[in-house]
Structure 1
Amino acid sequence: MVGSHHVGMLQLHGPLWARSEGLRCGEISFDSPDQNVKCVRMLDTTYSGEIGTKKKVKRLLSFQRYFHASRLLRGIVPQASLHLLDEDYLGQARHMLSKVGMWNFDIFLFDRLTNGNSLVTLLCHLFNSHGLIHHFHLDMVKLHQFLVLVQEDYHSQNPYHNAVHAADVTQAMHCYLKEPKLASVLTPMDIMLGLLAAAAHDVDHPGVNQPFLIKTKHHLASLYQNVSVLENHHWRSTIGMLRESRLLAHLPKEVTQDIEQQLGALILATDINRQNEFLSRLKAHLHNHDLRLEDSEHKHFMLQIALKCADICNPCRIWDMSKQWSERVCEEFYRQGDLERTFELEISPLCNQQKDTIPSIQIGFMTYIVEPLFEEWAHFTGDSPLSENMLCHLRKNKAKWRGLLHKQHSKSSDHSGQMTDTDGNPSQTSKEGEVP
Structure 2
Amino acid sequence: MAERSDCMCPCSCLRKKNKVKDEDLPVPVAIKITKRLCDEDDELSEVEPDAVPSEVRDWLALTFTRSMSNIKRRGEEKPKFKSVAHAIRAGIMVDRIYRRLSSSTGLHVPPHVLLLLKHLDEWGFDVFAVNDAADNHSLKFVGYELLQKYDIIAKYKINSTVLDTFLLNLEIGYSKYKNPYHNLLHGADVAQSVHVILNQSKLVHWLTDIEIFATIIAALIHDYEHTGTTNNFHIMTGSEVALLYNDRAVLENYHISASFRMMKNDDSNILSNLSREEFKEFRNLVIDMVLATDMSFHFQQIKNLKGLLSMPESIDKAKALSMVLHCADIGHPAKEWNLHYKWTNQLLEEFFRQGDREKELGLPFSPLCDRSGVLVAESQIGFIDFIVDPSFQVMSDMLEKIVSNLLKEQRSGSATSINEDPAYDVKKDKSTSTTSLHSSSGSSRSSTPKLLGSDGKFEFLKPWLDHLVKNKQIWKERAAKDAEERKKKEAKGENTNNNNSDTSSKTSDVKTNDSQANSPIPLNPSGK
Shorter-normalised TM range: 0.7 to 0.9
Find 1:340's aligned residue among 346, 349, 358. Answer: 358
Contact 2:194 2:324 in 1 (8 A): yes
User: How big is the shift at 1:384?
Assistant: 4.4
1:29-428 superposed matches below 5 A? 82=108, 90-155=110-175, 157-244=178-265, 245-292=268-315, 298-382=316-400, 384-387=459-462, 389-416=463-490
User: How big is the shift at 1:180?
Assistant: 3.9
TM-score under structure 2 length normalisation: 0.60
TM-score under structure 1 length normalisation: 0.72
Contact 1:330 1:358 in 2 (8 A): no
Q: Distance in 1 between matches of 2:216 and 2:3?
A: 26
Q: Distance in 2 between matches of 1:183 and 1:343?
A: 47
- The amino acid across from 1:214 in the alignment is I
User: How big is the shift at 1:291?
Assistant: 2.6
Q: Distance in 1 between matches of 2:113 and 2:119?
A: 10
User: How big is the shift at 1:142?
Assistant: 0.9
Contact 2:231 2:250 in 1 (8 A): yes
> Which residue is equivalent to 1:51?
none
Provide the aligned length of Structure 1 versus Structure 2. Answer: 333
- The amino acid across from 1:407 in the alignment is K
Contact 2:179 2:350 in 1 (8 A): yes
Instruction: Provide the identity percentage.
Output: 30
Unpaired runs of at least 5, structure 2? 5-105, 401-457, 497-520, 522-528
User: How big is the shift at 1:181?
Assistant: 4.5
Q: Distance in 2 between matches of 1:404 and 1:183?
A: 39
C-alpha change, 1:404 and 1:114, in structure 2 (3 Å) is same
**Aligned to 2:206, what secondary structure does the other structure show?**
coil
- The amino acid across from 1:94 in the alignment is L
Q: Distance in 1 between matches of 2:488 and 2:107?
A: 53
**Aligned to 1:303, what secondary structure does the other structure show?**
helix
Contact 1:204 1:234 in 2 (8 A): yes
Unpaired runs of at least 5, structure 1? 1-16, 21-79, 84-89, 293-297, 425-436
Q: Report which stretch shifted further, 354-363 or 223-232.
A: 354-363
User: How big is the shift at 1:160?
Assistant: 0.4
C-alpha change, 1:186 and 1:257, in structure 2 (3 Å) is closer
**Aligned to 1:204, what secondary structure does the other structure show?**
coil
C-alpha change, 1:416 and 1:384, in structure 2 (3 Å) is farther
- The amino acid across from 1:127 in the alignment is L
Contact 2:107 2:164 in 1 (8 A): no
4+ aligned runs moved over 3 Å, structure 1: 17-20, 80-83, 381-386
Q: Distance in 2 between matches of 1:180 and 1:215?
A: 41
Q: Distance in 2 between matches of 1:354 and 1:287?
A: 46
- The amino acid across from 1:248 in the alignment is L
Tell me: higher relative CO, structure 1 or 2? Use CA pairs within 8 A at least 6 residues apart. 2
Please give the per-residue CA displacement for 1:70-100, whole angstroms capped at 9, x wherever unaligned: xxxxxxxxxx9756xxxxxx22211222221
**Aligned to 1:153, what secondary structure does the other structure show?**
helix
Q: Distance in 1 between matches of 2:375 and 2:182?
A: 20
User: How big is the shift at 1:379?
Assistant: 1.7
Give the structure with the larger helix fraction.
1
